[in-house]
């Protein structure tokens, strides 16, 4: 009997992602790179040869979560010193060496503009047993071009297993942000605003369509500020990108997040109206309903301007669903200013709002200029009150949809435990309407990735519940 070669054990990567869609996409690209190096994914920390945390620094809470996770895995490193531990993303760029001081068992620290170097740094950390760090330049550290170059991203290595589902994917159209809202850390950790060339974005969209992707979400911190100047002097805007991606066979739904109120131009609204594959859904954060607070936040618009933009949006796209973000308890926000925010939410009838308690971020203008003078208990109460105002609107608007038929892209099995009376709980599926409303219904799993017509029979503030009518596409925004 001849000796069989023992198959080499494939190295395993454990990765946890905190934060926004941009981070999910970054993790997809990192995993693709690591796969090229022979790694496969594991969700068992104890099996991993490399443990990565792709981090967020928008609020303190997100950072605290990572430092406690690092504390928990210290034992693994003590037991298996050969495991490589990496802190990637925004917190890596913000805290840099501090991470090694607070958690010396971390091996590599890599900012969001340096992720292409991850495999090389893993190898170096292993070979040299020395901390490895790769971060981009600070916003004041050199010329704008050199800073921007230090945040440049790498090729579109893609990894289908890291996507929300096999037929949904993100494409980054812009990097960084130049708005410098006073509360926000993003411009310093993600660098200067840079729009990627349209040709590169279209090539990525075609590649994704070839891989079976049907729904593409274009990502940018202020995605509607997208502007790329061509060598011939012409400019490409987000509306041009939507138009071109719309022509790609196989792509059936296109979304874009997040929008900045001042850059909601008529050509973009018209494109959303004219292009049936584009979701009639616009996420455009207001942040506050009080002009004094907006001024301190340096949002560069007033409530009146925001509401005019909203009216223009709804006049151009009558069925549009709009969602928003709000920060409660920002420096100097008193009861009267908070009430103005509640009033704005009640007037605007958003599809939903993401509500956050202000979290001071070191290095931001607000942190150095204004005291964090709203007590935590008040922030909590305002958060609850604003959420209650928004929830009442969601419920009212959802109940009006009972009896209507909506078109849904089936995303997968519902994780929700919510059960309606008379349902037997077999294969509860979840999907979203063209306006990004969540719908739960019973259906066969083979419908995942398909468009179905669902008749709405019941509703909560978050979810519509319904019954599948026919499994074929008609265009009715909902
Ligand atoms: N670029 C997007 C925009 O301008 O709308 C959003 C970026 S940020 C990652 C997402 C949301 O986090 C913001 O819209 C804001 O509501 C919230 N946020 C940002 N900084 C914050 C802070 N220091 N404290 C609490 N919430 C914050
Ligand atoms: Fe942050 Fe404002 Fe830029 Fe959004 S627009 S990423 S909130 S600085």
So what's the pLDDT on residue 154?
Answer: 58
Which residue minimizes the CA distance to atom 1 of ligand 1? 221
The ligand placed nearest to the CA atom of residue 357 is 1
The ligand placed nearest to the CA atom of residue 356 is 1
State the residue for tokens 């560069």: 300
The ligand placed nearest to the CA atom of residue 219 is 1
Q: What tokens appear for 98 in the block? A: 């501090």
Which residue minimizes the CA distance to atom 5 of ligand 1? 285
DSSP 8-class letter at 446: G
Quick check: 425 pLDDT over 50?
no
Quick check: 423 pLDDT over 60?
no
Pick the more confident residue, 412 or 287: 287
Q: How far is CA 48 from CA 76, 129, 161, in A?
A: 10, 18, 18
Quick check: 401 pLDDT over 80?
yes
For ligand 1, the distance from its centroid to the CA atom of residue 257, given in whole angstroms, is: 13
| CA 326 to ligand 1: nearest atom | 16
Q: What is the pTM of this model?
A: 0.93
So what's the pLDDT on residue 152?
Answer: 73
For ligand 2, the distance from its centroid to the CA atom of residue 180, given in whole angstroms, is: 6
**320-335 tens-digit pLDDT:** 999 999 999 999 999 9
Give dist(CA 138, CA 148) in Å, integer. 10
So what's the pLDDT on residue 426?
Answer: 55
Ligand 1 lined by 282 (C-beta under 6 Å): no
For ligand 2, the distance from its centroid to the CA atom of residue 176, given in whole angstroms, is: 9
Task: Give CA 352 to chain center in angstroms.
Answer: 15
Handedness of CA 400, 405, 409, 410 (dihedral sign): positive
| CA 366 to ligand 1: nearest atom | 23
* Ligand 2 pocket list (CB less than 6 A): 177, 179-181, 184, 186-187, 221-222, 260
**90-137 tens-digit pLDDT:** 999 999 999 999 999 999 999 999 999 999 999 999 999 999 999 998
Ligand 1 lined by 383 (C-beta under 6 Å): no
**341-354 tens-digit pLDDT:** 999 999 999 999 99
| CA 354 to ligand 1: nearest atom | 16
Instruction: Choose the residue to mutate in 356, 368, 370, 380 for probing ligand 1, maximizing ligand atoms within 8 Å of C-beta.
Output: 356
Q: What tokens appear for 336 in the block? A: 């009267």
**40-65 tens-digit pLDDT:** 999 999 999 999 999 999 999 999 99
């Amino acid at each position: 009997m001849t000796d069989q070669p023992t198959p080499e054990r494939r190295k395993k990567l454990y990765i946890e992602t905190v934060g926004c869609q941009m981070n999910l996409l970054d993790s997809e690209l990192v995993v693709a790179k690591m796969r090229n190096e022979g790694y496969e994914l594991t969700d068992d920390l104890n099996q991993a040869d490399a443990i990565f945390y792709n981090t967020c620094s928008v609020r303190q809470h997100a950072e605290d979560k990572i430092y406690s996770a690092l504390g928990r895995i210290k034992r693994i490193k003590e037991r298996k010193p050969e495991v490589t531990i990496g802190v990637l993303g925004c917190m890596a760029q913000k805290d840099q060496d501090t991470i090694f001081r607070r958690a010396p068992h971390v091996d590599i620290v890599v900012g969001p503009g340096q992720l292409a170097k991850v495999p090389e740094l893993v190898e170096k950390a292993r070979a040299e047993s020395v901390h490895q760090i790769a971060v981009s330049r600070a916003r004041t550290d050199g010329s704008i071009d050199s800073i921007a170059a230090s945040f440049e991203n790498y090729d579109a290595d893609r990894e289908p297993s890291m996507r929300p589902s096999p037929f949904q994917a993100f494409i980054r159209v812009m990097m960084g942000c130049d708005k410098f809202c006073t509360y926000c850390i993003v411009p310093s950790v993600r660098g200067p605003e840079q729009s990627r060339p349209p040709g590169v974005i279209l090539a990525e969209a075609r590649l994704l369509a070839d891989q079976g992707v049907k729904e593409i979400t274009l990502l940018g911190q202020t995605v509607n500020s997208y502007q790329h100047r061509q060598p011939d002097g012409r400019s490409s805007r987000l509306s041009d990108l939507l138009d071109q991606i719309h022509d790609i066979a196989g792509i059936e739904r296109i979304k874009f997040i997040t929008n900045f109120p001042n850059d909601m131009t008529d050509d973009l609204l018209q494109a959303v109206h004219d292009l049936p594959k584009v979701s009639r859904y616009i996420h455009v954060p207001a942040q506050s309903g009080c002009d004094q607070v907006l001024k301190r936040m340096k949002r560069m618009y007033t409530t009146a301007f925001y509401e005019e933009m909203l009216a223009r949006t709804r006049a151009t796209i009558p069925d549009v669903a709009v969602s928003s973000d709000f920060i409660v308890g920002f420096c100097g926000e008193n009861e009267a200013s908070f009430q103005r925010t509640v009033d704005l939410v009640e007037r605007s009838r958003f599809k939903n709002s993401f509500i956050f308690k202000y979290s001071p971020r070191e290095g931001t203008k607000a942190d150095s200029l204004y005291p964090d003078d709203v007590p935590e208990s008040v922030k909590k109460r305002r958060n609850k009150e604003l959420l209650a105002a928004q929830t009442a609107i969601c419920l009212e608007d959802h109940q009006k949809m009972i009896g209507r038929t909506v078109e849904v892209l089936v995303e997968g099995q519902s994780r929700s435990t919510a059960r309606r009376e008379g349902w037997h709980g077999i294969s509860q599926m979840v999907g979203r309407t063209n306006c990004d409303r969540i719908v739960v219904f019973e259906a066969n799993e083979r419908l995942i990735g398909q468009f179905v017509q669902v008749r709405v029979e019941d509703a909560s503030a978050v979810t519509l519940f319904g019954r599948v009518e026919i499994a074929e596409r008609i265009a009715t925004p909902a």
